Structure 1
Amino acid sequence: MPHIRGDASVTLKSLSKIKHVRAFTVRGGGADYHDQGEGHWIDNHIATPMSRYPEYRQSRQSFGINVLGTLVVEIEAEDGTIGFAVTTGGEPACYIVEKHLARFLEGRSPLEYEKIWDQMYFSTQYYGRKGLVINAISGVDLALWDLLGKLRQEPVYHMLGGAVRDELQFYATGARPDIAKELGFIGGKMALHHGPAEGVEGLKKNIAELAEMRERVGPDFWLMWDCWMALDVDYATRLAIAAHEYGLKWIEEAISPDDYWGYAELRRNVPRGMLVTTGEHEATRWGFRMLLDMECCDIIQPDVGWCGGITELLKISALADAKGKMVVPHGSSVYSYHFVITRHNSPFAEFLMMHPGPTEVVPMFAPQLLGEPVPVNGRLKASALDAPGFGVTFNPDVATHRPYTH
């Protein structure tokens, strides 16, 4: 990939226009949906919508969670400055970026991110609206914010209004909340291992795992469950009620993201004080408006690489703020940190423990990103985000492939 540079002498009046948009694929590494190796905790008998089929129960890779791979979007300005971002989407998303979306950026000022987003979304609405197309739009939008920050020599969070606190605090998602506690995190979220197809015995195993972890971490440490769309309302209700005595803080993404009515029912069903959270696989202000208007959850969890990018996340967050709901984005490293540090209704952040164990804190998008900050004792100073743009560079040792051009 070309060298990334910025020029501190650039003024807004003379801000360089966009010259090229390019899209690449990467295999291996990245965060949880990218392409992890065998034996990783994040691929080990996790309850999924495919768990009803025994042959796809043990591994998410068996049914194809890693088939798309990483999407890298690169936007080059006329002065040679390059902004980039990584998300999921792989080769199909590359096609969308190169053959469709690039026309709305090249020759334009990066300051026009609102108009660019609007044109990308409505030009693709007839085949988009969610999923892969919004992943592609999100990647473009994040790369655009990265470019704008580098041209202005400002970190993204400064352009979003500045920090509202001095540091971020994190909970950790991984298989070992007890180790997360030792590492200074405020809580630990575990993957649910057994779904409805495994019956009452599976439910008992889930509760036994929670009870054991509560014994390890003590009474005050947060414990949460990520159910990854695997359950139905009845099973999720029984699970939540059984988990209540062990102080489960929240039950996350328990059912299909399209079942707004089911989420509203589940929120009515869970024990008083337990939170219902979802939104990792929701997209755009319209999808989150459904979750909020129908009182489906207590916390929304958009992924900035899938919901529409920073430009759309700002609108989603405003909707949640008006409803008095928290926004705690799905773990996406610097792409969410720059947002969370600027919002009062985002009081903490998620850190995905991407160490296979997971027993160590390692960069979430390794080996793809260089300069990626990680929490120390469960905290990250705002000053760690002070480099221009999102503050990271793409690792030149990682092989990229550009399957399409325009």
Structure 2
Amino acid sequence: MPVVNLPKIKHVRAFTVRGGGADYHDQGAGHWIDDHIATPMARYPEYRQSRQSFGINVLGTLVVELEADDGTIGFAVTTGGEPAAFIVEKHLSRFLVGRSPADYEKIWDQMYFSTQYYGRKGLVVNAISGVDLALWDLLGKLRQEPVYHMLGGAVRDELQFYATGARPDIAKELGFIGGKLPLHHGPAEGIEGLHKNIADLAEMRSRCGDDFWLMLDCWMSLDIDYATRLAHRAWDECGLKWIEEALSPDDYWGYAQLKKNAPKGLLVTTGEHEATRWGFRMLMDMECCDIIQPDVGWCGGVTELMKIGAYADSKGVMMVPHGSSVYSYHFVITRHNSPFAEFLMMHPGPTEVVPMFAPQLLGEPVPVRGKIRASELDKPGFGVELNRDIALHRPYPN
């Protein structure tokens, strides 16, 4: 058969948008996701009650759109807002225009190493991730294939989910395999706060029964002593399944110590705020955790996630990506060492299953009884469309 020459990329556009979606912390008042959750800033009383108070939602969503010269458009959403839009339009676009989306490996390499002097992690890799996801979406649409087919195909017939939110008891009723609670009180609130954390967890255990997974999301807020004490009490008194992102993501040595300190049987997990194959290599080579949790919109996109996942597989480390809707679903369904997935409960209660990245994505599948069938992903690209009715702003047009 002759080689098919795909259309080349003609236009690169980067937009910002406010309100939920990919920047899921950008929510209105009364949402569970902003209710006195332990953070590294909780050492300051004025920033303890709300994560928005210290600026967690200041950037907003980044939307990257790539248009091929036949008019086909691929897009993706992640976080990064206006600074990331500047990076995409003013720097990264030179590696995209005139190129085939099938050249994603070379494009990723050029984007990463051209920005290495001011990037490597964080905002710049968020921007690279958004471009990479848009590339895969475009490639799938041009080939008329879902992304998961291009990644090797499904290894199971359905995705199974645990739910992240303030009401694991309701998550159980809705059919999820487990519930991950936000930790509310950090070290600055002393032993009283620790007692409250255990009381909250014990209350949820009494509601959910002994066989339902319960996990704690600590959002980088603890020190090694507090994390160790919390881990032992939560395991002994409440049967905790895992303790997540207890320490600063830069503290690989602390994570290695926490994994040694943790009670046998309790899993230590982290990686939501880690980036690239090199960061995750550190986590795995230093035996920092039992499960890595890269976010495909933050760690480097699908192109990098494949490398991270392959290394994890070779090390016998489980990889359960941080909740990122269809962008992780298409990957998880293709990997044996990703046996289940995370679903962020974005209902304010949270008492209902609603699309995670609404209102930005149209056609986003949601779990029913905690599951999504592989066949629900059978649309070209990532299988979703951009909601053109939202207020998109393009701050840096070329």
TM-score range, shorter chain: over 0.9
Query: How far apart, CA to CA, are the structure 2 residues paired with 1:35 and 1:59?
Result: 12
3-state secondary structure, aligned to 1:373: coil
Q: 1:14 Cα deviation (Å)?
A: 2.7
2:123 matched to 1:132? yes
Please give the TM-score of this superposition, normalised by the length of structure 2. 0.99
3-state secondary structure, aligned to 1:190: strand
Q: 1:37 Cα deviation (Å)?
A: 1.0
3-state secondary structure, aligned to 2:181: strand
Which residue is 2:191 aligned to?
200
Q: Give a deviation string over 1:364-406, Cα, whole Å, max 9, x none.
A: 0011100000000000000000000000001111010000022
Q: How many residues get paired?
A: 396
Query: How far apart, CA to CA, are the structure 2 residues paired with 1:14 and 1:320?
Result: 34
Conservation of the 8 A alpha-carbon contact between 2:25 and 2:34: no
Which residue is 2:386 aligned to?
394
Q: 1:314 Cα deviation (Å)?
A: 0.2
Query: How far apart, CA to CA, are the structure 1 residues paired with 2:397 and 2:366?
Result: 35
Conservation of the 8 A alpha-carbon contact between 1:32 and 1:354: no
3-state secondary structure, aligned to 2:358: coil
Segments of structure 1 that go 5 or more residues without pairing to the other structure are 1-10
- What does residue range 117-156 of structure 1 map to in structure 2 within 5 Å? 117-156=108-147
Q: 1:40 Cα deviation (Å)?
A: 0.5
3-state secondary structure, aligned to 2:64: strand
Query: How far apart, CA to CA, are the structure 2 residues paired with 1:32 and 1:279?
Result: 18
Q: Give a deviation string over 1:271-299, Cα, whole Å, max 9, x none.
A: 00000000000000000000000000000
2:302 matched to 1:313? no
Of residues 241, 244, 267, the one that matches 2:232 is: 241
Which residue is 1:7 aligned to?
none
Query: How far apart, CA to CA, are the structure 2 residues paired with 1:219 and 1:12?
Result: 57
Q: 1:12 Cα deviation (Å)?
A: 5.7
CA RMSD of aligned residues (A): 0.8
Q: 1:32 Cα deviation (Å)?
A: 5.4
Conservation of the 8 A alpha-carbon contact between 1:32 and 1:42: no
Which residue is 1:229 aligned to?
220
Change (3 A) 1:139 1:263: same
2:364 matched to 1:372? yes
2:337 matched to 1:345? yes
Of residues 35, 40, 45, the one that matches 1:44 is: 35
Please give the TM-score of this superposition, normalised by the length of structure 1. 0.97
Greater CA drift, 29-38 or 260-269 = 29-38
Query: How far apart, CA to CA, are the structure 2 residues paired with 1:176 and 1:239?
Result: 20
2:262 matched to 1:270? yes
Amino acid corresponding to residue 389 of structure 1 in structure 2: G
Q: 1:29 Cα deviation (Å)?
A: 1.7
Aligned-pair identity in percent equals 85
Conservation of the 8 A alpha-carbon contact between 2:213 and 2:241: yes
Query: How far apart, CA to CA, are the structure 2 residues paired with 1:215 and 1:33?
Result: 29
Query: How far apart, CA to CA, are the structure 2 residues paired with 1:107 and 1:278?
Result: 38
Query: How far apart, CA to CA, are the structure 2 residues paired with 1:30 and 1:46?
Result: 20
Query: How far apart, CA to CA, are the structure 1 residues paired with 2:249 and 2:82?
Result: 25
2:7 matched to 1:24? no
Change (3 A) 1:180 1:32: farther
Which residue is 1:80 aligned to?
71
Of residues 373, 377, 386, the one that matches 1:381 is: 373
Segments of structure 2 that go 5 or more residues without pairing to the other structure are none
Which residue is 2:4 aligned to?
13
Query: How far apart, CA to CA, are the structure 1 residues paired with 2:139 and 2:87?
Result: 22
Query: How far apart, CA to CA, are the structure 1 residues paired with 2:122 and 2:134?
Result: 18
